[in-house]
Amino acid sequence: MSGTKIAPFFQADDIWESKLVCPACGYDYNHVLPHPFNAPGHDQGAAGWGGRGDLYTLPVWGECGHVWGVQFGFHKGQTFLMAGLLTAKELEYDEALAFVKAQGKK
């Protein structure tokens, strides 16, 4: 995953508790894409995020044009919450890429 540990990806909201915002630019119009995906870490750091365990990603498309993910990283019994920008290669797993292309963004 590219860009883990970047800017905060949620913001306090007057109506609800908090809302997702783009971690790259702070824009608050975002859409959760279908089909979360997992990068296996095999307890050896193979998921590419810094921890030894898996990295589970819920992909998000921002109307700002950024594609990013809410990510859960697992390391020795602890779970870390972060966000990371996603590459086109990471999105080529299913219809999430088709959704982004249909919006005219990538």
- Tens of pLDDT, residue by residue over 29-58, are 999 988 888 888 999 989 888 899 999 999
The count of residues in the chain is: 106
Q: What is the pTM of this model?
A: 0.74
What does the pLDDT read at residue 54? 93
Q: What is the pLDDT of residues 20-37, one digit of tens each?
A: 899 989 999 999 988 888
